[in-house]
A and B are shown apart, each in its own frame.
Chain A
Amino acid sequence: MITVLNTIDTGHEDMIHDAELDYYGLRLATCSSDNSVKIYDIKSGTQTLAADLKGHFGPVWQVAWAHPKYGNLLASCSYDRKVIIWKESGEWTKLYEYTGHESSVNSIAWAPAEYGLILACCSSDGSVSILTYSQDGGNWDVKKIPGAHAIGVNSVSWCPAISADLNLDPLSNKDAPKRIVTGGCDNLIKIWREQGEQWVEENRLEMHMDWVRDVAWAPSLGLNRSTIASCSQDKRVVIWTSDDNVSWTPTILNTFDDVVWSVSWSLTGNILAVSGGDNKVSLWREGSDGQWLCISEVAKGLGQTPNDERSTL
């Protein structure tokens, strides 16, 4: 059912913390504790290092590709409190460096392309920054949500711009507000709505007993409802559903053996990939009865055959 397409030896000198393919699936960006971001060109079975971006002075936590209509843009965030937006124009250069956070920047997310070039960043200083590129001035406008979560914000995700609900879709309703969801060290998940110049807290979802590590807003057209997945240090993954983006109903997807670090929705929003501290990746799909089923689990040392393992010394 699942086949290995490509195995990339990243050549990073330390653990990898994130990897993402670009919009077309032709380029892979990785980031690592060795402070670097690397970009590979992927072609059927082979890869070539396209760029090795050095600009962070701490472990780089996450990378994110922007929609290609804005050009080849890659954002990265790091322990060194910085967010860097890289741009390829012949060579990869820094387009913008954001230093407005006072602690490690843990997560970044580009807004749906329909909204323009907007990046949300969240940090351990407890705040969330929304960076908006203004086409005219060519500069980045910063809006900040201070104290979004006590202790720190661990993850941010945008509400999709395409919504089956007429009132929520920016295409049919010009006033449809942008929304983001954040998860933090106060064990809460909060939903924020843009209201004029401000971002206001619209909802707080209480369920997790420990730090929320990742949140992901699903594209879920087929079922006419909004869905958010969240995972936490408490080893649980919770699926939140809502018909109106106001009242949310939690369902516990599963309780895992170890802490859960990330959740990721497929493009069509029907399959959730879950990974965590136990080094395992599992895929989940909602059955017709509303129950979540694990359809595949990839065990440790994924994709590595015994003779693939290197001698290390």
Chain B
Amino acid sequence: MSIHWSSEVMKWEYRELQATAMTVDYSGNNVLLAGRRWLAIKQITQDEDSGDIVKKYPRHSKYDAAGAEWCQSYHGQKLCAIASNQRVDVYEWRNGNDLTCICSLRGHTRVVSDTHFHRQDHNLIATCSIDTFTHLWDLRDARKPVVSLCAVAGASQVQWNKVATHIVATAHDGDIKIWDYRKHSAPIHYISAHLCKIHGVDWSPHHEYQLVTSSHDGSIKYFDINNARRPENVIMTNFPVWRAIYTPFGSGLLTIGVGWGGMPRVEQAGVIGIWVGGALTHRLVGHTDTVQTMVWRPNTSPSNYQLVTWARDQSLRVWSMHPSLLKMCNHYLPDDGENDDDNNSDNVSYASTAGSTTDISTGDNKGQDIALNKLPHKTNTSIDEEFESIREMANIEVTDMNIETRTCQIHSERNGYVANLQVTFPRNVTEQTIPKFSWLSGTNVDSPTTIKILQSINRTAYRKKKEGHRCLLHCLKTLATSIDEIPVKSSDDTDSMKSSQRSQSESENAGDSCIPFPRTCGAKWCGVSTLVVFNRPPNARRLSLKHETGTPRSMSSLSLTPGLFGTTGYNSVSPHATTTPSPTNASGFPQLHHRHPSNSITTFYFQDRWKAQGRRAGSMRSRGSISGCVAPRVVLYAAPNLFPLSRNLAEKYIINADNPIEMCEKNAKVATEEGETDLAHAWDLAALTARSLRARVIDHLVSSEESMGWVGHPLCCNLLQSLISHYAKASNLQMAAMLACAFSVFNDTSNSSSQSTISTSSYGNGTSPYSTVNQYSEISADGWTLPIVLRSNSCSEAENFYTDSTVSKSEKASSCVLDEATVHLYHCFKRVYADILHRWQLIYKKTEVLKLVNGDTSCSSGPGPELAAECARCGAGVRGPACTQCARLALRCAVCARPVRGLAAACHYCAHAGHALHMLHWFSQHDTCPTGCGCKCVMEGNSVWKGVNKYV
């Protein structure tokens, strides 16, 4: 049962005025009470101290005021109309105290029953009378009406549409006439609404095409004016309904009854009923006699709707709407407590649209702080920007855009649903005002859904406005998403919107509406330069669908192809019935799968064929013939020329980082043979730089006369670097990687000096023969192994790799020419090139390249310390094989006492080192250090020596 509710916030009694009509002005702060003797203007403000300010203006008339109305447009907010007997007086309230009659509209021959100002044009007013006429007046020339709408029966109500500006509804006894005043000879719609007199008509605030009527027969009916033969919805009460008005929020309805449910009239007449979804949920109790007028107070904040009522008990009351009611009507409140929304964004359906919205209206401190912080970033978005933002939107058609009236109209068709939306931007835009969205004719989404969609659009609008962004674009995106979420209905029942009337097969396929339409054409790059292409054969022709011009979006479209399966006897088998797994029959698939499943995608493109088959054979075709007409094939394309990568070159290129000159020269030759003259030229250049690199070492050994050095010389290191980056930019990773490989100087990073220099360690560089750390971080699967990141440096997979090149290496050790990032980049090139070589199945080449990839991690996080020798002559610490000071080989073998050139091994414990072979040989017979230091190297350095056989 309904809740009794006394939520009035203010109440005043004015018995002396004997007012019979009441209206509230545009600002929502002034109430006009009109009676036979007085016109009174009362200020209603929340401020208690302001006292009871009433301005009274004497009006001496024989007749009661049948109606009073304040113009609700911004420009006409000073105007009010008072209907009494046969004329309508229009007053202007000047400067807040002077109420002057500016004109009288005399044209009706009987009592005027209703007046209504146009919602935008304040010069236009409609009046209706029992004399059967409805006159439209231009106040600038009030001598005679500009338009007269003529009917047979007397008119009791006139109401301008709340969305469309040119539509007006009039009530004549039990009928409703809808007029387009531009074409006033005949109504555009005629609705036989009730059997008894219609007391009230109200247009939906959200829909152009919906209105509600209340009648003496006790019924309230919702109509769609475009489909008015039967009402959308009927509420039956057992008392005459004086007024029924929409709530401005959500989907509620307010009614005033004349006599209430058989109860004594005097007690119950003052009750206002609130209906939500066809049920009486609340009653506003307070008035002790019939309520004559109720109006929503204009310009209240969205979370604080107020109703102003005047009743025969001569009391004026202001009611507030309880938040629970707003919620019940599906009204979205900006302070809906969604502050934690960011945290639970898996709140599936609105996850994309709902944002955090802190309170904007009740002055929550936190919310304001945030707003203030954001202020500097806010750009005041103008209406032009808003409109401009949606110009490029696909799938949404802007049918009308008017900057003057600040409205635009949107048309969108998706999934067979048509949505026509009008967006009106309020004139006095503050940061938090959102545009008003309302549905236009042509929309075929049912009303509860439209209300829901409006709420999510509003939600988006509030969020975006709060963030200080333009909101229109995002609102329209929300619109599109929301429509997508409606279960798809089939195209042939567009007329009926009742989901219960949808066919069985359609509900089966409802889930398909969110499964993307199958791809029947595709191209994928595979391998190094192969393009795999599949597509429909040329004889495939797409069906033209009723409601879609492009390729449909979701699989549900497949089931919408009309009459597809009728001719072939497939109508008993829904194409998806065979394929849609349900939890219950998931295990029971086998009995289904012998049938040809999902012929839908085929038939989508081959309808002709299916029809022909049906006609010819009249029986089911064998599966073979289906494949015959489809002939699905895949074409592989080689596009080697698109990529500057050559397998031939890769095969013939040599990789020898120890001798860059030789490597560059040979590769130049290879490139020439392959006809790649520009590459050959680059290799020649590289060879030159390599030569200068070598030359410098030799010079250095004698006496260095180079002043710039290899690193600084523009034609040496810099040239090489720009060569590499040039090829990398041109996507020639082969050349970039090969050049990076050729110069092992690029393998070292300048920050290697920061590493701790422990006397004995392994030198972690990829090309160094000192390298003793092996990181076998590899994955073995199916019998063959592949290192993930690091190569063992002395890898046995690549033969003839280790040549003795101490000289260049000694140089390298001191020339840390590049920063870490560049070294890393070059390693990346090598890794990618290694991957390409792998795909070409050039495994050895790949291994050789990967060996030159020095994972920086091997230094920074590798297990072993770094090896540094102490120069036998000068005693300086040497990280490389040769001492930089005396240019001699630094390390002497502990066994043979000769300088070590090539692979060395050291004891972790006593740090004595020597030729790897000598050391191994020694330890195969001894367990103590060859130097006689007494270290039991084999025992102490157990793990190290155990690993020895790995890298020899």
- Partner-B contacts on A (CB < 8 A): 1-25, 28, 30, 32-35, 42, 57-59, 61, 69-72, 79-81, 89, 99, 103-104, 106, 114, 116, 124, 126, 135, 146-147, 149-152, 154, 162-166, 169, 171-172, 174, 185-188, 201, 206, 209-211, 213, 219, 221-224, 233-236, 258-259, 261-262, 264-271, 273-281, 283, 285, 295, 298, 300-304, 309-310, 312-313
Q: A171-B789, A258-B551 are in contact. Are A15 and B484 (CB under 8 A)?
A: no
Given contacts A3-B637, A24-B527, A103-B514, 17 further A-B contacts (CB under 8 A): A4-B635, A8-B636, A12-B627, A12-B630, A33-B597, A35-B597, A171-B827, A172-B855, A210-B553, A213-B519, A259-B517, A264-B525, A267-B836, A276-B521, A276-B551, A301-B535, A309-B537
Any chain A CB within 8 A of the CB of B182?
no
How far apart are the CA atoms of A28 and B888 in the complex, in Å?
Answer: 58
Asked if A275 and B522 sit within 8 Å, CB to CB, the answer is yes
Asked if A28 and B634 sit within 8 Å, CB to CB, the answer is yes
How far apart are the CA atoms of A285 and B827 in the complex, in Å?
Answer: 25
Any chain A CB within 8 A of the CB of B495?
no
Identify the 8 closest CB pairs spanning chains A and B, nearest first. A301-B538, A277-B551, A25-B527, A21-B526, A147-B346, A303-B635, A71-B782, A234-B394
Any chain A CB within 8 A of the CB of B631?
yes
**B490-509 Cβ-contact flags toward A at 8 Å (1 or 0):** 00000000000000000000
Residue of B nearest to A66 (CB): B781
Q: Identify A146's interface contact among B346, B531, B533, CB under 8 A.
A: B346
Asked if A15 and B602 sit within 8 Å, CB to CB, the answer is yes
Asked if B633 and A8 sit within 8 Å, CB to CB, the answer is yes
Asked if B731 and A264 sit within 8 Å, CB to CB, the answer is no
- B-side contacts of A276, CB under 8 Å: 521, 551
Asked if B516 and A262 sit within 8 Å, CB to CB, the answer is no
Q: A15-B630, A300-B538 are in contact. Are A42 and B636 (CB under 8 A)?
A: yes
Asked if B522 and A172 sit within 8 Å, CB to CB, the answer is no
Q: Is the interface of B mostly helix, strand, loop or mixed?
A: mixed
Asked if A147 and B638 sit within 8 Å, CB to CB, the answer is no
How far apart are the CA atoms of A273 and B529 in the complex, in Å?
Answer: 12
Asked if A28 and B532 sit within 8 Å, CB to CB, the answer is yes
Asked if A162 and B635 sit within 8 Å, CB to CB, the answer is no
B residues 572-627 near A (Cβ < 8 Å) are 579-581, 586, 589, 592-593, 596-599, 601-602, 605, 609, 612-613, 623-627
- B-side contacts of A264, CB under 8 Å: 523-525
Asked if A298 and B533 sit within 8 Å, CB to CB, the answer is yes
- B-side contacts of A17, CB under 8 Å: 518-520, 522
**B805-841 Cβ-contact flags toward A at 8 Å (1 or 0):** 0000000000000001100110111011001101101
How far apart are the CA atoms of A5 and B635 in the complex, in Å?
Answer: 8
Asked if A169 and B824 sit within 8 Å, CB to CB, the answer is yes
**16 CB-based A-B contacts, threshold 8 Å:** A6-B635, A14-B632, A18-B534, A20-B524, A21-B532, A61-B519, A79-B515, A124-B515, A209-B396, A213-B516, A268-B643, A281-B522, A281-B523, A304-B633, A312-B631, A313-B612
How far apart are the CA atoms of A301 and B613 in the complex, in Å?
Answer: 23
- B-side contacts of A16, CB under 8 Å: 520, 534, 632-634
Any chain A CB within 8 A of the CB of B365?
no
Q: A5-B530, A221-B828 are in contact. Are A262 and B598 (CB under 8 A)?
A: no
Any chain A CB within 8 A of the CB of B718?
no
Any chain A CB within 8 A of the CB of B348?
yes
Asked if B628 and A313 sit within 8 Å, CB to CB, the answer is yes
Asked if A166 and B523 sit within 8 Å, CB to CB, the answer is no
- B-side contacts of A206, CB under 8 Å: 477
Q: Identify B484's interface contact among A185, A201, A280, CB under 8 A.
A: A185
Asked if B645 and A268 sit within 8 Å, CB to CB, the answer is yes
Count of chain B residues with a beta carbon within 8 Å of a chain A beta carbon: 118
Asked if B832 and A7 sit within 8 Å, CB to CB, the answer is no
Least CB distance from B874 to A in Å reads 35
- A-side contacts of B535, CB under 8 Å: 275, 279-281, 300-302
- A-side contacts of B784, CB under 8 Å: 69
How far apart are the CA atoms of A197 and B643 in the complex, in Å?
Answer: 40
Asked if A71 and B635 sit within 8 Å, CB to CB, the answer is no
Q: A25-B527, A42-B636, A222-B731 are in contact. Are A103 and B579 (CB under 8 A)?
A: no
How far apart are the CA atoms of A165 and B828 in the complex, in Å?
Answer: 10
Least CB distance from B829 to A in Å reads 7
Residue of A nearest to B641 (CB): A1
- B-side contacts of A209, CB under 8 Å: 393-396, 477, 480
Q: Identify A19's interface contact among B534, B820, B835, CB under 8 A.
A: B534
**B826-860 Cβ-contact flags toward A at 8 Å (1 or 0):** 01110110011011010000000000000111000
How far apart are the CA atoms of A4 and B533 in the complex, in Å?
Answer: 10
Q: Identify A2's interface contact among B347, B633, B639, B728, CB under 8 A.
A: B639
Any chain A CB within 8 A of the CB of B429?
no
How far apart are the CA atoms of A174 and B861 in the complex, in Å?
Answer: 10
B residues 776-799 near A (Cβ < 8 Å) are 779, 781-782, 784, 786, 788-789
Least CB distance from B481 to A in Å reads 6
How far apart are the CA atoms of A46 and B395 in the complex, in Å?
Answer: 45
Least CB distance from B616 to A in Å reads 8
Residue of A nearest to B583 (CB): A102
Any chain A CB within 8 A of the CB of B94?
no
Asked if B484 and A8 sit within 8 Å, CB to CB, the answer is no
Any chain A CB within 8 A of the CB of B550?
yes
Q: A124-B515, A309-B537 are in contact. Are A13 and B832 (CB under 8 A)?
A: no
Q: Identify A33's interface contact among B351, B524, B525, B602, CB under 8 A.
A: B602
Any chain A CB within 8 A of the CB of B642?
yes
How far apart are the CA atoms of A147 and B349 in the complex, in Å?
Answer: 9
Least CB distance from A223 to B in Å reads 7
Q: Identify A25's interface contact among B345, B540, B730, B839, CB under 8 A.
A: B839
Q: A15-B518, A186-B481 are in contact. Are A172 and B551 (CB under 8 A)?
A: no
